[in-house]
Amino acid sequence: MEYIEKELKEGIKIHQIKTNKFKTNLMAIFLTTSLNRETVTKNALISSVLRRGTKNMPTQECISKELEEMYGGAFDCGLDKSGDNQVLKFYLETINDNFLPQSGENMWKKTIEKLLEIVFNPLVENGAFKEEYVNQEKENVKLRIESKIDNKAKYALDRCIEEMYKGQPFGLYKFGYTEDLENIDSKNLYQTYKNLIDNCKIDIFVSGILDDNLEQYILENEELQKLKPRKPDYNIAKIISKKAEKENSVAESMDVSQGKLVLGLDLDVGEEEARYHALLYNSILGGSANSKLFQNVREKAHLAYVASSSYIRYKNNIFVNCGIEIENYDKALNLIKEQIENMKKGNFTDKEIENAKKGIISGIQAIEDEQDTQIVYYYGQELSQNKMSVSEYKEKVMQVSKENILSIANKVTIDTIYFLKN
Amino acid sequence: MQTIENLKVKEKVYIEKLENGLTVMVIPKKDTLKKYLIWGTKYGSIDSEFIVPGEKEKTKVPMGVAHFLEHKMFEQENGTNSLDVLTSLGVDANAYTSNDHTAYLFECTENFYEAMDELMDYVQHPYFTDENVEKEKGIIGQEIKMYDDYPEWRVYYNTLTAMYYNNPIKLDTAGTIESISEINKDILYRCYNTFYHPSNMVLVVCGDFEPKKMFEEVKKRLVQKSNVGEIVRLYPEEPKEIVKEKIEQKLEVSQPLFTIGIKDIPENCNIENKNIMVKKQIAIEILLNLIIGRSSELYQKLYQNGILYSQPSLEYEFSNTYAHVLITAQSNEPEDVYQKVKAEIRHLQTEGISEKDFLRIRKMIYGGYIREYNDVGDIARMFLADSMKGINSFDYLEEIEGINIEYLKQVLNEVFKEDKMVLSIVKN
């Protein structure tokens, strides 16, 4: 494995990951921009409109057929909230030439051309996106926003975050808001797109068996050559300490047969090193089948099937998730709080720390065996401007001590308790 | 030891059938740190009536036993829980129960052999007590309720209910709160002793391993078990007809979710018949894409009219006793989509299939098969699931080039029949 990073122009980077572990060529383009209420919906809509047609592949049918001809090139676009950034992600995965039934294809060249075309050369009519596409995609985005209620557990988590970050960028829903759609048209959306492309941070990843001409294909691409250098408008993901003043409880009703309980925790630590400590703390609290939550809420009290927690490192928060009988709310909440209190008292053993480390390290070691995870790993470093090899990362985790974890435990406060019931 | 190589994807599988009947497969992956082991038994949620080898009377157990057993296998006599032990080793361990098999697995980068010790030990040593069986009912009860809130799950089971009169495929894998209340330790032991015999099991390992050595490692960890006869599985007679064409359920969803099901006649799943099964599945995948895949005229039209806003998921599920096609999507007008799918099928049946479209979709399906070989876990799970039907996963890559338009037409006429279609809807 070899990782080469190159700045093409200011604010535009090419990341090459040379690896022979995969059958596929994976290319990704990430557009990173600061998250705000004014553009959140427009950006979500842009990512939908781009996949509808390009200058040279003007319809979705055309794009689909081209990709199918490439042995089912898998195009995907997604939208992420990474800290206070909105990230538009575009992927194209194709089969490497070595595994095609016949030789003579140049799959990398086609992959690079097609993905750059979709992102940077959209179908434009009279200085605007094609109106028909924009109107259809507005409907599409509206449905997507409305569908946030369909996955109840995910919805409960999103609502908890929204409550915790009221009026702040991270509290925004990544697909935006239906009421914004009315005022968007093909012209102003295209202006937003131009603005995004001129000012966002652009990261282009290529991963797989890379041929020697690959860099050249990218450098010679006309769409890329047209892009201007920029001082990218995004937020570097730095750790921020937070302390909840008081516990905020929110309960809402929906037609559910199981109650979904989410706790949002704040961490009052600000040093970069604390990330590793928090990772360990979370693992012991609710990150695995050995964790306090799994063992006590599920295995001992039999209150839940799902009882876990996760650490959102970009925002320095931990979220606890449980699916419970609605009448067991008090019992479950008390039990969760008891686990948090026990952690503060240092009621966790060296064995638990060691186990948690093993689990985390196993995950770190697997990074290089998963093509998309590896891209996300390097992107995460790019975003936090903190470059580290997989082995350095492992070393950081190894060094975390019981004192480190205890100190995190005592800086944890409960910010929001969200309950979805019927 | 049998070695099968596939030159397209450039991988090999080594297969050995041990004396006690256990099938072991090793798919070596050089220079990969991730390692994966999965041990499955051909025993799923549909196996609730059977004759235990050596007995005459049939045994009938409540629904949800296979899944309940899966949960309880982790508990050990010495008071430990194997999931905890495996997690302590830093490995990612899990288990699942499907319609036709149950599997125990772990993925790791280190401590592989320690984890293998633990996994092979707990799968071979059940420990059920009245108390530990009772306690599990609370946890599984919450798992059942969690699935009750998944619209995808509801729409799926409702489709099966509309298609099948008697086949247990239509019943929830986990059972119901009522059915699991009847489960006790004697039932669990009885099912364990019947179905967890090596001759009914397959173990698959994928990672940077030397196959011969791996076979020895497996043998070393096996508990002696006497050979037993064949398990007779009893499945109720299933009419070819559907039960009812339409089924609806109310759930809070943003937009109706629907599945179009097509009931098919199951093929005999055995090694002799495997080429037919594989070819048929490939043909159905291609046909589904021609009917309503991303580049199809129908999908493009429905998308542009705002009737569909994402590509439907397209599936073909089959075993010895059931077989059906599933087309699932969200739409405000499920009935309209249903009628248009029917019309498109008629259109293809009368007007024929375009050669160009067929070749393009076949290329796409080929790419999809190659993609399955990126991850040790995907590979091992695929080989296990296919082996339960007597299929070697490489067969898909071997058979795909042989699929032609004539064969597609035949399958289109035999499987995509209007009187076998159902529509299941979940909406507000």
For B361, which residue in chain A has the nearest alpha carbon? A68
Q: Which member of B5, B19, B57, B70 is catalytic?
A: B70
Q: Tell me which residues of chain A, numbers 65 to 94, contact chain B at a CB-CB cutoff of 8 Å.
A: 65, 67-74, 93-94
Nearest to A65 among B32, B255, B295 (CB): B295
| Range(s) of the domain holding residue B148 | 2-233
Query: Does B226 lie in the same domain as B147?
Result: yes
CB A276, CB A393: distance < 8 Å: no
Looking at the partner chain, which of A65, A255, A298 has a beta carbon nearest the beta carbon of B139?
A298
The answer to whether residue B241 sits within a structural domain is: no
pLDDT for B272 equals 77
State pLDDT tens for residues B286-311: 999 999 999 999 999 999 999 998 89
Given B184, B211, B233, the domain boundary residue is: B233
> Would an 8 Å CB–CB cutoff place A355 in contact with chain B?
yes
Residue B239, in any domain of the structure: no
Q: Is residue B293 part of a domain?
A: yes
Sort out which chain A residues have CB atoms less than 8 A from B135's CB and list them: 302
Structure tokens at A324: 């419970």
Owner of token pair 């495929």: B169
Portion of chain B with pLDDT greater than 90, in percent = 91
Question: What SS3 state is found at A348?
Answer: coil
CA distances from A111 to A72, A121, A292 (A): 11, 15, 46
Does residue B10 sit within a domain? yes
pLDDT, greater one: B137 or A240: B137
**Residue B229: per-residue pLDDT:** 86
Q: Which ipTM did the prediction report?
A: 0.90
| Per-residue pLDDT reduced to its tens digit, B201-256 | 999 999 999 999 999 999 999 998 888 889 999 999 999 999 999 999 999 888 99
B271 closest CA partner among B176, B395, B161, B363 = B395
Beta-strand ranges (E) seen in A313-398 are: 317-324
Domain boundary among B198, B233, B268: B233
Check whether B257 has a pLDDT greater than 90: yes
Judged by a CB distance cut-off of 8 A, whether residue A302 touches chain B is yes
Give a yes or no: residue B240 inside a domain. Answer: no
Give the distance from residue A107's alpha carbon to the nearest chain B alpha carbon, in angstroms.
12
Please indicate, yes or no, if residue B238 is contained in any of the structural domains. Answer: no
Domain boundary, last residue among B200, B233, B266:
B233
Q: Are B384 and B280 within one domain? A: yes
Chain A residues whose beta carbon lies within 8 Å of the beta carbon of residue B89: 358
Residue B136 main-chain phi, psi, to 5 deg = -70, -25
Asked whether residue B366 falls in the same domain as residue B251, the answer is yes
A140 close to B (CB below 8 A): yes
Cβ–Cβ below 8 Å for A150 and B253: yes
The letter for the amino acid at A163 is E
Residues B117 and B186 in one domain: yes
> Which sign, positive or negative, has the C-alpha torsion B147, B421, B321, B61?
positive
pLDDT of residue A166: 94
Element (H, E) at A111: helix A107-120
d(CA A157, CA A319): 8
Q: Do B138 and A302 count as a contact with CB atoms less than 8 A apart?
A: yes
A1 close contact with B: CB closer than 8 A: no
Q: Cβ–Cβ of B294/A68 closer than 8 Å? A: yes
Domain identity same for B97 and B52:
yes
Structural contact between residues B13 and B392, judged by C-beta atoms closer than 8 angstroms = yes
**Could you give the residue range(s) of every CATH 3.30.830.10 domain in chain A?**
2-226, 248-421
To test the contact with chain A by mutation, choose from B91, B110, B139, B427 the residue with the greatest count of A C-beta atoms within 10 A, namely B139
Chain B CB contacts of A140 under 8 Å are 306, 309
Which chain A positions have a beta carbon within 8 Å of B138's beta carbon?
302-303
Give pLDDT, residue A96: 96
Asked if B226 and B347 sit in the same domain, the reply is: no
Q: Are the C-beta atoms of B235 and B167 separated by less than 8 Å? A: yes
Q: Can you list the alpha helix ranges (DSSP code H) found in B234-312?
A: 274-292, 297-304
Chain A residue numbers with beta carbons less than 8 Å from the beta carbon of B255 are 143, 146-147
pLDDT at A60: 94
Domain match, B53 and B181 both: yes
B chain contacts of residue A303, beta-carbon cutoff 8 Å: 138, 142
Chain B residue numbers with beta carbons less than 8 Å from the beta carbon of A147 are 253-255, 330
User: Is residue B15 very low, low, confident or very high in pLDDT (cuts 50, 70, 90)?
Assistant: very high
Sheet holding A248-253, edge to edge: A248-253, A412-421, A259-267, A317-324, A304-312
Digit-coded pLDDT (tens) for B334-388? 999 999 999 999 999 999 999 999 999 999 999 999 999 999 999 999 999 999 9
pLDDT tens for B62-96 read 999 999 999 999 999 999 999 999 999 999 999 99
> Which among B84, B252, B401 has the least Cβ separation from residue A149?
B252
CA distance, residue B162 to nearest chain A CA (Å):
23
pLDDT classification of B320: cutoffs 50, 70, 90: confident
Q: What residue has token string 């293809």?
A: B348
Tell me the residues of chain A between 364 and 403 that have a Cβ less than 8 Å away from chain B. Answer: 365-366, 368-371
Structural domains counted in chain B = 2
Same domain, B229 and B376: no
Model confidence at B147: pLDDT above 80: yes
From first to last of its 422 residues, what are the pLDDT tens digits of chain A? Answer: 899 999 999 999 999 999 999 999 999 999 999 999 999 999 999 999 999 999 999 999 999 999 999 999 999 999 999 999 999 999 999 999 999 998 888 999 999 999 999 999 999 999 999 999 999 999 999 988 998 998 999 999 999 999 999 999 999 999 999 999 999 999 999 999 999 999 999 999 999 999 888 999 999 999 999 999 999 999 998 888 889 889 999 999 998 989 999 999 999 998 889 999 999 999 999 999 899 999 999 989 999 989 999 999 889 999 999 999 999 999 999 999 999 999 999 999 999 999 999 999 999 999 999 999 999 999 999 998 988 899 999 999 999 999 999 999 999 999 999 999 99
CATH number at residue B52: 3.30.830.10
Same domain, B382 and B414: yes
Q: Give the homologous superfamily in CATH for domain A248-421.
A: Metalloenzyme, LuxS/M16 peptidase-like (3.30.830.10)
**Whether residue B255 sits in one domain with residue B225:** no
b/e map of A331-356 (b: 16 or more CB within 10 Å)? ebbebbeebbeebeeeebeeebbebb
- How far B318 CA sits from the closest chain A CA (Å)? 25
Q: Do B374 and A24 touch (CB under 8 A)?
A: yes
Contacts of A357 in chain B (CB under 8 A): 90
Of A144, A150, A355, the CB nearest to B87: A355
Is residue B185 in some structural domain? yes
Q: Are residues B26 and B158 in the same domain?
A: yes
- Are A254 and B252 a contacting pair at CB < 8 A? yes
In this predicted model, what pLDDT tens digit does every residue of B166-189 receive, in sequence order?
Answer: 999 999 999 999 999 999 999 999
Supply B162's token pair. Answer: 């509309």
Distance CA A80, CA B30 (A): 34
B178 and B104 both lie in a single domain = yes
B70 is catalytic: yes
B272 CB-near residues (< 8 Å, 6+ apart): none
B197 part of a folded domain? yes
- The CATH number of the domain covering residues in A2-226: 3.30.830.10
